[in-house]
């Protein structure tokens, strides 16, 4: 059965050039980067070239990039180190962050009794920046953790505004840029962000590898102990082929950014206008959303709600649940719960997320399948 993959915010297919690069590294560069012989040095060179390539895309120094196994690991490390080693006593975040951030903060709150403040969310899914300023008026050693693009709604937060407010108030800013790295230009010379995190599988790279950006001058402590890899901040033999694949994927993502953004935005608009034609009461969840994510609430009855994902899946169509209080059996999305009214929360929301591998024909098939439910 032909598959239609419209779940690119969950993960993305790997580009062929990235696979080729990884296969080459696995076949030819099997050395341990910590070994001092030529085979080890050659593997080390692959890792360091990847670091430089990634830094170049973000306009930062290679020494500011630290490889990890995922964005989840990078976020856990940064937030934990900030609390344990920088004596951060309060974290300001939002209730619509990814669980990688939310649950890390909850664990730190329990373990270290830090204060956690949640910035208000507007009904359009955006952040109330004036509330952030208000919260920062209290003087206590603080870290702000707010995401760039929301993974469920695609709502874009203004990192520059947040970074400037944090900078002005001399507090640290950790930004989850998992959904935007490789899909939007991020210039770290223009933006006083202290930490950001990324994950290769969101930009057509391999799974199980990511990185953190840690601004020069900030010295973190490890949460994994062992070898001296990654300046001693993240012990463990580097996954050379995955790191090389991630760098290749990021390079290609930025090389094709303009054309792919245009193409994907056109797909998203096509999808929404056709959904609107088929279901006039369909609504978009959130305003000012990123070009590859469309989260909609569908005017379907409760009986149909339970059937949607199952029916689409039977036809090989992959989308994601936005929310569903299907007969109370599934918890509504923690993001939509902060934004929608009770009525809309009961209706099915779907997250449709696109990549340059999708086509208008696939969208036609998706909408035809929805109409048949």
Q: Using CB under 6 A as the criterion, which residues of the chain lie in contact with ligand PLP when the complex forms?
A: 70-72, 98, 100, 147, 151, 176, 178-179, 199, 210
Count of helices and strands (H, E) across the chain: 13, 13
HSE-CB for 142 with a 13 A CA cutoff: 26
C-alpha distances out from residue 178 to 74, 98, 199, Å:
11, 10, 6
Q: Active site residue: 60, 159, 271, 325, which one?
A: 325
Query: CB-wise, 100 or 156, nearer to ligand PLP?
Result: 100
Catalogue the E-assigned strands of 29-159: 65-68, 90-93, 115-118, 142-147
Closest separation in Å from C-beta 68 to ligand PLP? 8
Query: CB-wise, 90 or 98, nearer to ligand PLP?
Result: 98
What span, in angstroms and rounded, lies between the C-alpha atoms of 32 and 239? 9
Closest separation in Å from C-beta 113 to ligand PLP? 25
Closest residue to ligand PLP: CB criterion? 199
Query: CB-wise, 199 or 289, nearer to ligand PLP?
Result: 199
Q: In this structure, what token pair is assigned to residue 325?
A: 């209080």
Active site annotation includes 325: yes
Closest separation in Å from C-beta 228 to ligand PLP? 24
Give me the helices (H) in 31-70, please. 38-58
Closest separation in Å from C-beta 127 to ligand PLP? 14
The 10 Å CB-count burial string (b at 16+, else e) for 9-19 is bebbebbeebe
DSSP annotation of 157 reads P
Closest separation in Å from C-beta 203 to ligand PLP? 11
What span, in angstroms and rounded, lies between the C-alpha atoms of 228 and 44? 13
Query: CB-wise, 199 or 358, nearer to ligand PLP?
Result: 199
Query: CB-wise, 29 or 230, nearer to ligand PLP?
Result: 230
- The residues annotated as belonging to the active site are 325
């Amino acid at each position: 059965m032909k598959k239609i993959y419209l779940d690119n915010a969950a993960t993305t297919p790997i580009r062929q050039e990235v696979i080729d690069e990884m296969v080459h590294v696995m076949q030819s560069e099997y050395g341990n980067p910590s070994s001092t012989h030529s085979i080890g040095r050659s593997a080390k060179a692959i890792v360091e070239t990847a670091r430089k390539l990634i830094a170049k895309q973000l306009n930062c120094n290679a020494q500011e990039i630290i490889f990890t196994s995922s964005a989840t690991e990078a976020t856990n490390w940064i937030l934990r180190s900030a609390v344990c080693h920088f004596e951060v006593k309060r974290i300001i975040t939002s209730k619509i962050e990814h669980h990688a951030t939310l649950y890390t903060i909850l664990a730190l709150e329990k373990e270290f009794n830090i204060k956690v403040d949640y910035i208000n969310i507007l009904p359009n899914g955006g952040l109330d920046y004036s509330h952030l300023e208000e919260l920062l008026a209290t003087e206590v050693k603080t870290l702000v953790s707010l995401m760039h693009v929301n993974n469920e709604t695609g709502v874009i937060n203004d990192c520059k505004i947040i970074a400037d407010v944090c900078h002005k108030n001399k507090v640290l800013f950790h930004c989850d840029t998992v959904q935007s790295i490789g899909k939007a230009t991020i210039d770290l010379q223009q933006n006083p962000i202290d930490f950001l995190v990324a994950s290769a599988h969101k930009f057509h790279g391999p799974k199980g590898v990511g990185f953190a950006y840690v601004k020069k001058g900030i010295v973190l402590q490890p949460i994994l102990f062992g070898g001296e890899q990654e300046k001693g901040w993240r012990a463990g033999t580097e996954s050379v082929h995955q790191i090389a694949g991630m760098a290749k994927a990021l390079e290609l993502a930025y090389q094709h950014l303009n054309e792919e953004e245009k193409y994907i935005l056109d797909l998203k608009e096509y999808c929404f206008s056709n959904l609107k034609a088929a279901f006039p009461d369909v609504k978009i969840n959130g305003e000012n959303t990123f070009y590859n994510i469309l989260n909609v609430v569908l005017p379907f009855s409760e009986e149909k709600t339970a059937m949607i994902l199952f029916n689409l899946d039977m036809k090989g169509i992959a989308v994601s649940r936005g929310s569903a209080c299907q007969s109370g059996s599934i918890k509504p999305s923690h993001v939509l719960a902060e934004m929608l009214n009770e009525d809309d929360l009961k209706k099915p929301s779907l997250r449709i997320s696109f990549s340059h591998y999708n086509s208008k024909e696939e969208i036609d098939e998706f909408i035809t399948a929805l109409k048949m439910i």
